[in-house]
Chains A and B, each alone.
Chain A
Amino acid sequence: MATEVHSLQELRRSASLATKVFVQRDYSDGTTCQFQTKFPPELESRIERQLFEETVKTLNSFYAEAEKIGGSSYLEGCLACATAYFIFLCMETHYEKVLKKISKYIQEQNEKIYAPRGLLLTDPLERGMRVIEISIYEDRCSSGSSSSGSSSSSSGGGGGGAGGR
Chain B
Amino acid sequence: MTPGSGSGPMKDCEYSQISTHSSSSPMESPHKKKKPAPKRKWEVFPGRNKFFCNGRIMMARQTGVFYLTLVLILVTSGLFFAFDCPYLSENITPAIPAIGGILFFFVMGTLLRTSFSDPGVLPRATPDEAADLERQIDIANGSSSGGYRPPPRTKEVIINGQTVKLKYCFTCKIFRPPRASHCSLCDNCVERFDHHCPWVGNCVGKRNYRFFYMFILSLSFLTVFIFAFVITHVILRSQQTGFLNALKDSPASVLEAVVCFFSVWSIVGLSGFHTYLISSNQTTNEDIKGSWSNKRGKENYNPYSYGNIFTNCCAALCGPLSPSLIDRRGFIQPDTPQLAGPSNGITMYGATQSQSNMCDQDQCIQSTKFVLQAAATPLLQSEPSITSEELPLPGKTTISGPCATLTLGQPTPPSSMPNLTSDSGLTDMIPLKEEHEGHQFLTPEEAPSPPGMLPSGSPIIHSHTMHVLSLASQDSLHEDSVRGLVKLSSV
Interface residues of A (CB under 8 A from B): 20-22, 25, 27-31, 66-69, 73-74, 76-78, 80-81, 84-86, 88, 93-96, 99, 125, 127-131, 133, 154, 156-158, 160-165
Contacts and interface: CB of A to CB of B under 8 A. Distances in A.
B340 A165 contact: yes
Given A81-B317, A95-B320, A158-B128, A164 B420 contact: yes
A30 B325 contact: no
A74 B174 contact: no
Interface in B191-212: 191-192, 210-211
Nearest to A29: B159
Which of B157, B158, B179, B409 is the most central at the interface, judged by chain A CB atoms within 10 Å of its CB? B157
Contacts of B210: 77, 81
Contacts of B304: 30-31
A132 to B, nearest CB: 11
A80 B128 CA distance: 39
Interface size class for chain B? 35 or more
Interface in B400-447: 407-413, 416, 419-420
Contact of B420 (A95, A133, A154, A165): A165
Nearest to B157: A27
B345 interface: yes
Nearest to A66: B320
Contact of B105 (A78, A84, A95, A125): A84
Given A69-B314, A73-B319, A31 B179 contact: yes
Interface of B: 105-106, 109-110, 113, 122-123, 125-129, 131-133, 135, 157-160, 164, 166, 174, 177-179, 191-192, 210-211, 214, 303-304, 311, 314-315, 317-323, 325-326, 340-341, 343-345, 407-413, 416, 419-420
A156 B411 CA distance: 9
B109 A85 contact: yes
A27 B325 CA distance: 18
Contacts of A25: 177
Contacts of A94: 320
B178 A31 contact: yes
Nearest to A77: B318
**In this complex, which of B133, B166, B177, B410 has the most chain A Cβ atoms within 10 angstroms of its Cβ?**
B177
Given A30-B159, A77-B318, A95-B323, A160 B410 contact: yes
Contacts of A93: 320-321, 323
Nearest to B124: A128
Top 9 closest pairs, chain A to chain B, by CB = A77-B318, A84-B109, A128-B123, A160-B412, A161-B416, A27-B157, A128-B325, A164-B420, A74-B318
A161 B411 CA distance: 10
A67 B311 CA distance: 14
Central interface residue in A88, A133, A165, by most chain B CB within 10 Å: A165
Given A22-B132, A158-B127, A158-B128, A69 B157 contact: no
A85 B110 contact: yes
Q: What does DSSP make chain A's interface, helix, strand, loop or mixed?
A: helix
A138 B200 CA distance: 51
A144 B201 CA distance: 55
Which one of A68, A127, A160 has the highest number of Cβ atoms from chain B below 10 Å of its Cβ? A160
A67 B322 contact: yes
Contact of B318 (A20, A73, A88, A154): A73
Contact of A160 (B110, B128, B166, B408): B408
A30 B303 contact: yes
Nearest to A67: B320
A124 B320 CA distance: 18
A157 B211 contact: no
A69 B315 contact: yes
8 contacts: A22-B128, A27-B164, A30-B178, A69-B320, A85-B211, A130-B129, A162-B340, A162-B344
A68 B110 CA distance: 24
Contacts of A125: 323, 325
Contacts of A30: 159-160, 178, 303-304
Contacts of B323: 93, 95-96, 99, 125
Contacts of A78: 318
Given A27-B178, A30-B178, 13 more contacts: A20-B128, A25-B177, A80-B321, A93-B321, A95-B322, A128-B122, A130-B125, A131-B129, A157-B412, A162-B127, A162-B344, A164-B408, A164-B416
A27 B177 contact: yes
A93 B322 CA distance: 9
Nearest to A93: B321
Given A69-B315, A94-B320, A125-B325, A86 B159 contact: no
Contacts of B191: 31
A76 B416 CA distance: 51
Contacts of A157: 412-413, 416
Contacts of A68: 320
B214 A81 contact: yes
Contacts of A22: 128-129, 132-133
Contacts of B132: 20-22
